[in-house]
Each structure stands twice: as structure tokens, then as C-alpha cells.
Amino acid sequence: MAYELIKKPEGWLYHYTKKDHLDAILQDGRIRRFGDKECWFCTSLEDTLRLMEMTVMKEGHPYIDKHGFVRKYTAFVPKDYIILKLEQNHQNGEWVRWNQEMPLGCSSEILAQAEEFSLLKKGFRGDLKFHRRPQVIEVAPLLEEQTMNMTTSQ
């Protein structure tokens, strides 16, 4: 993993999480990193959905957890997820990008996916405080709407 310091993102931040974490997040007034070095955000709703497609929506696909162990994504249940649209509070801290490293000889398609994955996520080193109550976006109706829009456009 290669970390790169980046400029603090401007505007709204988006963070997906399981719905059962919402009360604790609101009570804390921050997104916690939960044992990781960073907490992760996207800068648009579209980027957040794409990141979810590449991660938690990939049932059975392997990933490396925060302790370096290989795990597999469990079944994705859209009603269990929310996306928080939040305004970050002014605080000091480092913003980073995690550039996905790939072995030599990877196809150009895999390299492009790794680059896209790296560019979607913005990491904050520490727990990120937010200003005001975040907007809570239910994932299930959002995906249903997206599916309906795709169906009607065909």
C-alpha cells in the first residue's frame, strides 16, 4: 500500500456505513476510524455508490481487512446500509490517498480498476468531526431508483 498526502477535500463528504452504526455516529459527532489509521470518504454520491459496487456489493470477493487478513465480502443487503452526506468540521489532520499497488504484469483493465478505486477514496488520518447533523441517505431506495432509471433509459 502506498499512501500519498492529498489536499483537504472541499465541499460535502460522503461516507457509507451500516445503518446500525448511525446512532453512535450521531452521538459521537464524528466518523471514527475503528482501529484503522484512517476513516474514508468520497466527494460525491456517485463516487460513493461506485466504491460500494467495488467493495461491499461484491459478495464472496476477497479483500484485505485492517489487520492484513484475507476476508470475503458477505451478502450485500441494501436496506442495512446508509450514506451520510456531511460537512466536515474545521480540524487539523492529514488527508491521504491510498494508491492500490498491483503486481507487475497485471492487465491494463485491472490496473485501470485499481487506479479508479484509489481515486474514489479520500482518507483522513484520525477521527473526522462533522459540522451539523449529516443528511442520511437510505441505500435501498437509491439503488431501486437507479435501477428504474437504467430500465427506462433502455
For the chain, how far is it from start to end, CA to CA, in angstroms?
40
Q: What is the pLDDT of residues 97-143, one digit of tens each?
A: 999 888 899 899 999 999 999 999 999 999 999 988 999 999 999 99
What sign for the dihedral angle of Cα 5, 66, 126, 120? positive
What is the chain's alpha carbon radius of gyration, rounded to the nearest angstrom?
16
- Count of positions (residues) in the chain: 154
Strand order in the sheet with 13-18: 13-18, 81-88, 128-138, 30-31
Domain ranges of the chain: 2-152
**pTM of the predicted model, to two decimals?**
0.90
User: What's the rounded Cα separation, in Å, for the pair 64 and 126?
Assistant: 20
